[in-house]
Chain A
Amino acid sequence: MGVEICVEGLTKSFGHQVIWQDVSLTLPAGEVSVMLGPSGTGKSVFLKTLVGLLKPERGSITIQGRDITKLREHDLYEVRKLFGVLFQDGALFGSMNLYDNIAFPLREHTRKSESEIRRIVLEKMDMVGLIGAEGKLPGEISGGMRKRAGLARALVLDPEIILFDEPDSGLDPVRVAYLNQLIVDLNAQIDATFLIVTHDIASARQVPDNIGLLFRRELVMFGPRAELLSSDEPVVRQFLNGRMQGPIGMAEEKDAAQVEQELAQIDDSARVQQLTPRLLPGPGITRPPRWQAIARREAELHQKEVAGA
């Protein structure tokens, strides 16, 4: 079972520049959450703060009863073993081939025999579809493959929490769809807590249980998927619909008068939108009770829609 992460009053700044302030949210154990936000709102910084790579100015991050912002370096390394992180470019070790990269955490932290390591590594490589590329160096493969290899490496220690830093950036739409399916399947299989940082709206609509939106140095909203998708909050609606009219401008912010004028112009009939159906675990995956419940709810919603039409 995954682990709950409780963030309270978190504030981070570099010098005088405040990245975000007073962010409070709870990532429920075992659920998939997505953190959205325009480029440059500190989504990656948020992720690095969660694993203790960056120290926030204020606030707390509680995992299993421990506040990781106050832990000593040595204890922090212990807590980090709960985490698996997929970095933007995979962050593979350039001097090792894919097999050694993925085996690295096992060799460092466990006393498993080499044959057992081989079994686990090949299993994870199969999971992300990288069988046959064991001997390749990270410099020799495509960005998508590096990402998948990074994911396999994040998975080998059976983490309780998995963080994804823009898993879909730089991938083609088909690969993004596969990756989203992989994320959902993984969640059904290993039951860990997932946090995905992204600005891909399509993924955000399909994949998560919860959505959060960072904008203007604060967390605008964090809540269940349905709540955000049907929200009236202008920032949320603008971002989820990916349009120009609204508070988010090219250079981050617009003045209030212009925003009101633009919002008035939007055709209200366009607001009646259907809730995007959720992505469910693939047919080969045995669904745990949580996913069975989600699947049931989705089926009911779908029936209602059909009846309504």
Chain B
Amino acid sequence: MSLSPAGALRHSGSLFAMALDVVRTIPRRPFQAREFIQQAWFVASVTILPTALVSIPFGAVIALQIGSLTRQLGAQSFAGAASVLAVLREASPIVTALLIAGAGGTAICADLGARKIRDEIDAMQVLGIDPIHRLVVPRVLASMLVAVLLNGLVSVVGVAGGYFFNVVLQNGTPGAYLASFTTLAQLSDLWAAEVKALVFGAIAGIVASYKGLTAKGGPKGVGDAVNQSVVITFMLLFVTNFVMTAVYFQVVPQRG
């Protein structure tokens, strides 16, 4: 990536141009169902296990922090409420984002990048096939779908991990933990987290595809593209996460 401001602007411009192309191409028939299913399966298979393994300690850390905090304040009965809130609202979309970008996005970027430098993408265009329609749209949709599903997985595993650590290791009361579950969190938190995950999946898919399709300069170029795609995706995801959280607090009335 060039360091000049013009180069950075040009890259952002073409990234957004491609994002628009993707949106415009989604309704075009025939939908590449086969590619979509293959990609969804592929992205899921590279992300499920790491996601589950990451979300257990994540839930545990939150439980530990909250457990000691609530004990100091004498509010042990709210440990469950706080832990669910933290996992559902923030931890699960962030973990999902990290895994989708780190495991799914890199795989997509490396795949497309390798095709690009082997002239496969050019060959496809010459054969009259739009790579956005044929390759990018199914990948973006697949990463969105998997992100939404992963978010559910992270929520469940994270909350279960939190429960385990709070109740078993910190001698919390199971009844109080479960009873306070819904004192702070509400159903709209889950919806908001799923929407976040959907957007994160789209961003990760689009950035990975963009970087893959613009890879150049041989095998090293593919490596660089993968590296940049992860960095750019992370930056975009954290900014988007902040904005979406801020908007959510304005739009949805909070409990308690």
Contacts and interface: CB of A to CB of B under 8 A. Distances in A.
Interface of A: 48, 51, 53, 73, 77-78, 80-81, 83, 85, 87-89, 91-94, 104-105, 108-109, 150, 153, 157
Contacts of A85: 123, 126
A80 B128 contact: yes
B221 to A, nearest CB: 15
Contacts of B118: 89, 91, 94
A105 B127 contact: yes
Contact of B120 (A88, A92, A105, A157): A92
B129 interface: yes
A114 B170 CA distance: 65
Interface in B81-104: none
A88 B128 contact: no
Which of B118, B125, B128 neighbours the largest number of chain A CB atoms within 10 Å of its CB? B128
A33 to B, nearest CB: 18
A88 B119 contact: yes
Contact of B126 (A73, A80, A108): A80
B56 to A, nearest CB: 35
A36 to B, nearest CB: 21
Interface residues on B, range: 10 to 19
A94 B128 contact: no
Contacts of B120: 91-94
A80 B124 CA distance: 10
A87 B128 contact: no
Contacts of B122: 48, 53, 87, 91
B11 interface: no
Nearest to A150: B123
A91 B115 CA distance: 9
Contacts of B128: 77-78, 80-81, 105, 108-109
B17 to A, nearest CB: 11
B126 A51 contact: yes
A78 B130 CA distance: 11
A139 to B, nearest CB: 10
24 contacts: A51-B125, A53-B125, A77-B128, A77-B129, A77-B130, A78-B128, A87-B122, A87-B123, A88-B119, A89-B118, A91-B118, A91-B119, A91-B120, A91-B122, A93-B124, A94-B114, A94-B120, A104-B127, A108-B128, A108-B129, A109-B128, A150-B123, A153-B127, A157-B127
Contacts of B124: 93
Contacts of A150: 123
Given A77-B130, A85-B123, A108-B127, 10 more contacts: A73-B130, A80-B128, A87-B119, A91-B118, A91-B120, A93-B120, A104-B127, A108-B129, A150-B123, A157-B127
Contacts of B119: 87-89, 91
Contacts of B130: 73, 77
B126 A53 contact: yes
A104 B35 CA distance: 14
A89 B123 CA distance: 11
B123 A80 contact: no
Contacts of A153: 127
Contacts of B127: 80, 104-105, 108-109, 153, 157
Nearest to A51: B126
A242 B69 CA distance: 82
B134 to A, nearest CB: 8
A94 B118 CA distance: 9
Contacts of A53: 122, 125-126
Q: Nearest 9 CB-CB pairs, A to B? A: A91-B119, A91-B123, A87-B119, A85-B126, A81-B128, A80-B128, A77-B128, A105-B127, A51-B126
